């Protein structure tokens, strides 16, 4: 295993780096941080306020021209307008400890987006107002008081990866978990809360127990008489068609899993081996094109389906069974999905994942009978689609870390991350972090996914979340008429496109329009002609979420039809105009590209006929009424309810559990399974004629905290099993009187030696959360007793 998480370059340091650690260090660090205290302190009178106190010693020569910084997923900027009030009471000072010698600290920004970044987003750079020399051997206190961006509850949320700069030199400052004190964190109370949660959801499970150990649960399983033993010399006969792609998967998987040598042919009318046939009675699978039937008998296994996709899903069930025992009990399995869309979003903008790593995620998705990979390619922190016509995407938009144009962003600290099993060195402030998917990479991913029945949907987030593109194309994407003062949820003050100039001669309008249209059309074309059942040609997601309410409020380009619209209204009108100008595109996005922050449709929106998918990221409470309005307006809706299927959120409130907690304190496997109940409640709210517009469910792997492949797997597994059960298995199993079949799913996931999680580890060598003890961390101890 490589000891470096990514290939990176580092500028000259004031101190030397020692390999294998998550922070650069030296025997005599330039700065030694003795404590970091975060929590409610005197003067934090609002619920959202907290303070941070950092104590350090200057262990080297005095510094007279310095800047001090860190990463924390909170903004330390101050923006107070009629639309927003971010940190109005924030007070930042540095003092000599136990002294009245202090200086105010100023949040450092650049005057132009074309300049090399200082502070940006969640990366904070501070400097003293006036002269304040850091003397050698002196103890200092940094007070960051009354921030109103909500308190930190775990190590993902604390200030970390500290650094100090002097001129062009950088020193990274190490901390450990023992450095931190979270004033409002009570470990005993949290442990009690976690145990109560585990016991409560176990007790509230429905009583369904699956008669066969498969995930997701099939529609029906009827035991027969006899058995069939798989052994070398087995023949796989594909009578369905002459495309043996999936039949070859059967052969290859038998060899990998059991060491069995099998052959593939297209002989008709065979009654031995594995026989793949056309299903004649489609009502058995509710006319569902992804359905299948397996009949295991003495001497033969029949696989019935309508197409290769059904045959592929039958393989996933058989593969689970033969990995339990190469002698299969006689039975008939009839199966088809509850929802046509069962997806996972992977954010490659915040952190980059290699083609090989994404292929493993695709394999895992197939094993769970998930059929869509929603790829988030562009955000404030990076743009990963390498379009040959636009080399500045690769040279600017996908490169970050001091002293590049885009500073270090989302750079979590390796020794605070419990998923860092291999002690990788994570990126620091002066790490150059980069990663782009070439056209060949993307073609390879599409081919790999399509052979496994998985559609890839590309997403480039706009008109907010667009800072990396703006950095790469300032001449086209910066409107000099826009003097608006705003801040995004992630702390950016310059991440919106000049929407009011689109398709006009105003300001940068012509250049912006050409660039935007070209990027989106070229990106959509890359993913055209996919061979999966539900692929939509020319589909691309524009994102459309989280535009700051203060955007374009002081922009003279926003006259005429733009003048009286809110920021969200301007964003939606822009998408409507883009759709009208590009009728060849199917335009997808998050609910805010169509809908107000409540439930109503916007005044000017992309028409339903031109929408590919609308994903809802709200919590289930707010999302259900939004889904109702969208579905009854004809939009194709996918439910990504944040309190249930935001996989990047923390499993529980423990200080060591990675992930944010803004939507729920328990983003665990049972929460993902609960999306089955929320889906039922959503559908039941909708008039019958429009219920089919609820296409399905999706789990998200937003990558603010997912610094590595290992971290991504930890957050995905075992949550993906809850999503798979909710999206595929019938509601008669997963939702009985608003209770999910959590006990049944847990039993099938297993306690480590056997079960679905052991199966995934065997096949894909994945280090799921709780490895090697299966689902033990999420169930009562009596359900998975320790050996």
Enzyme catalytic residues: 546
Instruction: Give which of 35, 1, 21, 17 is closest to 426, Cα–Cα.
Output: 21
Question: Contact 596/526 with Cβ under 8 angstroms?
Answer: no
**Torsions phi, psi for 598 (to 5 deg):** -100, -110
The span from the CA of 765 to the CA of 761, in Å, is: 4
Gyration radius from the chain CA atoms:
27
The span from the CA of 280 to the CA of 287, in Å, is: 11
Specify the DSSP class assigned to residue 393: I
The span from the CA of 444 to the CA of 467, in Å, is: 28
- Count of beta carbons in the 10 Å neighbourhood of residue 737: 6
Would strands 372-379 and 455-462 be described as parallel, antiparallel, or unpaired? parallel
* Cis upstream peptide for 772 (omega within 30°): yes
Instruction: Give which of 589, 558, 561 is closest to 575, Cα–Cα.
Output: 589
Backbone φ/ψ region at 555: left (φ over 0), alpha (ψ -120 to 50), beta: beta
Would strands 220-229 and 327-335 be described as parallel, antiparallel, or unpaired? antiparallel
Question: Contact 303/275 with Cβ under 8 angstroms?
Answer: yes
The span from the CA of 246 to the CA of 451, in Å, is: 8
The span from the CA of 168 to the CA of 147, in Å, is: 29
Burial call 161-186: b when 16+ CB within 10 Å, e when fewer: bbbbbbeeebbbbbbeeebbebeebe
Task: Match 């679905």 to its residue by tokens.
Answer: 756
* Cα-to-chain-centroid distance, residue 498: 27
HSE-CB at 452 with a 13 A cutoff on CA atoms is 24
Specify the DSSP class assigned to residue 505: S
- Count of beta carbons in the 10 Å neighbourhood of residue 398: 27
Name residues whose C-beta falls within 8 Å of residue 746's C-beta, 6 or more positions apart in sequence: 202, 775, 778, 779, 783
Evaluated on CA atoms 642, 647, 649, 650, the torsion sign reads positive
The span from the CA of 505 to the CA of 439, in Å, is: 33
Q: Helix-strand-coil percent breakdown of the chain, rounded to 5? A: 30, 25, 45
HSE-CB at 292 with a 13 A cutoff on CA atoms is 26
Structure tokens at 257: 């899993």
**SS3 sequence of 654-704:** CCCCCCCCCCCCCCCHHHHHHHHHHHHHHHHCCCHHHHHHEEEEEEEECCC
Question: Contact 323/314 with Cβ under 8 angstroms?
Answer: no
- Count of beta carbons in the 10 Å neighbourhood of residue 663: 17
Backbone φ/ψ region at 226: left (φ over 0), alpha (ψ -120 to 50), beta: left
**Torsions phi, psi for 444 (to 5 deg):** -65, -40
Structure tokens at 132: 């304040």
Structure tokens at 664: 């729920």
* Cis upstream peptide for 638 (omega within 30°): no
The strand pairing partners of 125, in sequence order, are: 69
The span from the CA of 188 to the CA of 205, in Å, is: 26
């Amino acid at each position: 295993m490589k000891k470096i998480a990514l290939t990176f370059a580092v500028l000259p340091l004031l101190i030397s780096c020692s390999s294998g650690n998550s922070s650069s260090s030296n025997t005599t660090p330039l700065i030694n941080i003795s404590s970091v205290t975060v929590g409610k302190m005197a003067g934090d009178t609002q619920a959202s306020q907290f303070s941070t106190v950092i104590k350090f010693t200057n262990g080297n020569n005095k510094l007279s021209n310095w800047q001090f910084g860190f990463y924390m997923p909170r903004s330390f900027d101050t923006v107070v307008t009629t639309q927003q009030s971010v940190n109005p009471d924030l007070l930042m000072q540095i003092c000599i400890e136990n002294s009245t010698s202090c200086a105010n600290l100023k949040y450092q920004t650049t005057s132009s987006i074309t300049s090399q970044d200082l502070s940006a987003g969640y990366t904070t750079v501070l400097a003293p107002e006036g002269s304040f020399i850091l003397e050698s051997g002196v103890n200092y206190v940094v007070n960051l008081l009354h921030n109103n961006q909500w308190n930190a509850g775990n190590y993902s949320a604390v200030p970390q990866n500290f650094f100090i700069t002097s001129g062009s030199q950088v020193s990274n400052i190490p901390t450990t978990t023992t450095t931190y004190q979270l004033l409002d964190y009570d470990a005993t109370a949290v442990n009690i809360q976690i145990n109560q949660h585990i016991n409560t959801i176990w007790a509230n499970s429905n009583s369904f127990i699956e008669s066969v150990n498969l995930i997701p649960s099939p529609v029906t399983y009827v035991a027969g008489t006899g058995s069939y033993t798989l052994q070398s010399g087995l023949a796989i006969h594909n009578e369905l068609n002459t495309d043996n792609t999936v039949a070859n998967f059967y052969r290859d998987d038998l060899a990998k899993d059991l060491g069995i040598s099998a052959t593939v042919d297209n002989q008709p009318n065979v009654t031995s081996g594995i026989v793949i046939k056309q299903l004649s009675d489609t009502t058995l699978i509710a006319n569902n094109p992804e359905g299948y039937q397996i009949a295991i008998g003495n001497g033969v296994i029949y696989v019935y389906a309508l197409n290769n996709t059904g045959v592929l899903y039958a393989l996933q069930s058989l593969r689970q069974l033969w990995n339990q025992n190469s002698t299969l009990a006689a039975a008939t399995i009839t199966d088809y999905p509850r929802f046509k869309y069962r997806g996972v979003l992977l954010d490659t903008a915040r952190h980059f994942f290699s083609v090989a790593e994404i292929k493993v995620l695709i394999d895992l998705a197939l094993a769970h009978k998930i059929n869509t990979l929603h790829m988030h390619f562009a955000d404030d922190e990076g743009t990963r689609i390498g379009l040959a016509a636009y080399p500045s995407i690769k040279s600017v938009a996908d490169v970050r870390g001091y002293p590049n144009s885009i500073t270090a962003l989302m750079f979590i600290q390796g020794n605070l991350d419990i998923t860092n099993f291999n002690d990788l060195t994570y990126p620091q402030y002066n790490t150059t972090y980069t990663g782009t998917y070439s056209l060949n990479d993307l073609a390879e991913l599409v081919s790999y996914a399509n052979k496994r029945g998985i559609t890839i949907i590309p997403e480039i987030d706009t008109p907010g979340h667009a800072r990396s593109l703006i950095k790469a194309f300032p001449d086209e994407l910066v409107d000099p008429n826009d003097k608006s003062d705003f801040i995004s949820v992630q702390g950016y003050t310059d991440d919106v496109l000049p929407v009011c100039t689109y398709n006009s001669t105003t300001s940068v309008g012509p250049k912006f329009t050409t660039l935007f249209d070209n990027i989106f059309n070229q990106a959509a074309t890359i993913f055209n002609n996919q061979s999966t059942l539900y692929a939509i040609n020319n589909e691309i997601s524009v994102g459309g979420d989280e535009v700051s309410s203060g955007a374009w409020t002081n922009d003279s380009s926003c006259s005429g039809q733009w003048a009286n619209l809110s920021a969200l209204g301007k964003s939606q009108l822009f998408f409507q105009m883009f759709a009208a100008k590009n009728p060849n595109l199917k335009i997808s996005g998050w609910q805010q590209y169509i809908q107000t922050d409540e439930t109503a449709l916007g005044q000017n929106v992309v028409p339903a006929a031109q929408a590919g998918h609308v994903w809802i990221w709200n919590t289930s409470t707010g999302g259900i009424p939004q889904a109702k309005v969208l579905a009854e307006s004809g939009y194709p809706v996918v439910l990504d309810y944040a309190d249930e299927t935001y996989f990047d959120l923390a499993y529980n409130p423990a200080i060591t559990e990675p992930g944010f907690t803004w939507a729920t304190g328990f983003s665990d496997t049972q929460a993902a399974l609960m999306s089955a109940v929320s889906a039922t409640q959503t559908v039941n709210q909708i008039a019958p004629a429009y219920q089919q517009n609820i296409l399905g469910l999706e789990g998200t792997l937003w990558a603010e905290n997912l610094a590595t492949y290992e971290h991504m797997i930890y957050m995905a597994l075992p949550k993906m099993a809850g999503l798979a059960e909710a999206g595929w298995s019938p509601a008669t199993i997963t939702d009985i009187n608003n209770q999910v079949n959590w006990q049944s799913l847990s039993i099938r996931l297993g306690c480590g030696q056997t079960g679905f999680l052991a199966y995934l580890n065997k096949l894909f060598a994945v280090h799921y959360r709780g490895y090697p003890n299966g689902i033990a961390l999420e169930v009562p101890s009596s359900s998975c007793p320790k050996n």
